[in-house]
């Protein structure tokens, strides 16, 4: 195997490792949690620097899956949205504990949950909390952080593309190598959206990992 091929394979391997990223999480459970002992919850808001309904719904799904896996009954998103529209709740109001509790009370559930998600380049940070709908008291709060390693992956993708483009001989071979390198380097950059989604999902999993199960 030629030397440039070994180098290209080595760099490509590093790119794949960088795509894995890493996530961590932590949480605090209030003593009131065990007094309320909620088994049903409504996710009333997804806030942060997330734009558009599609990504918010995706994050809602990630959180819902984790809560259901822990044995919670989660109110359908359509029902929550219907109440929000019917009662004319403003998005800025849903992030407060008092308004979240009010929404949960209308939905007739013991607890309401919210999550705030922020994406800064390849870094993701999020905070979630669950409140008692009767008292507005925070029953649980957790956080999660993760990094996709996208920036470094893009750099290594470009390096790999450069190696392929520069090491292969001229003519059509050089053209093919340049295109191949561009595709590999471009693929690293184009994976930001799905990779960020995976990091968000893993961060949510870490955030709720020690949330008491039902």
- Match 């595709």 to its residue by tokens: 183
Domain positions in the chain are 1-21+149-206, 23-147
CB 147 within 8 A of CB 20: no
CATH topology of domain 23-147: Rossmann fold (3.40.50)
Sign of the C-alpha dihedral computed for residues 33, 115, 208 and 146 taken in this order? negative
Taking all residues of the chain, what is their mean pLDDT, rounded to a whole number?
Answer: 78
Q: What is the pTM of this model?
A: 0.72
Strand segments, DSSP code E, in the chain are 22-29, 40-48, 73-74, 111-120, 123-132, 138-147
- State pLDDT tens for residues 124-142: 999 999 999 999 999 999 9
Distances (CA, A) of 47 to 115, 149, 151, 182: 6, 24, 25, 36
pLDDT tens digits, 12-53: 444 444 444 688 999 999 999 999 999 999 999 999 987 788
**Token match 């490509």: residue?**
12
For 77-107, write each residue's pLDDT tens digit: 999 999 988 888 876 667 789 999 999 999 9
């Amino acid at each position: 195997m030629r030397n440039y091929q070994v180098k290209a394979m080595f760099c490509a391997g590093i790119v794949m490792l960088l795509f894995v990223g890493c996530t961590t999480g932590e949480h605090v459970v209030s003593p009131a949690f065990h007094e309320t002992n909620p088994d049903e919850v409504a996710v009333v808001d997804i806030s942060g620097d997330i734009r558009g309904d599609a990504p918010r719904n995706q994050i809602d799904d990630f959180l819902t899956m984790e809560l259901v896996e822990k044995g919670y009954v989660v109110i359908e998103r359509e029902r929550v949205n219907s109440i929000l529209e019917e009662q004319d709740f403003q998005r800025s109001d849903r992030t407060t504990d008092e308004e979240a509790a009010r929404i949960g009370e209308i939905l007739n559930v013991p607890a309401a949950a919210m999550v705030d998600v922020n994406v800064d380049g390849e870094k993701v940070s999020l905070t979630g909390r669950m409140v008692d709908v009767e008292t507005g008291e925070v029953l649980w709060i957790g956080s999660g952080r993760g990094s996709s390693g996208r920036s470094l992956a893009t750099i290594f993708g470009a390096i790999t593309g450069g190696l392929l483009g520069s090491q292969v001989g001229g003519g059509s071979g050089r053209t093919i190598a340049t295109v191949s390198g561009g595709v590999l380097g471009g693929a690293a950059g184009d994976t930001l959206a799905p990779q960020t989604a995976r990091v968000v999902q893993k961060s949510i999993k870490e955030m709720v990992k020690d949330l008491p199960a039902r």
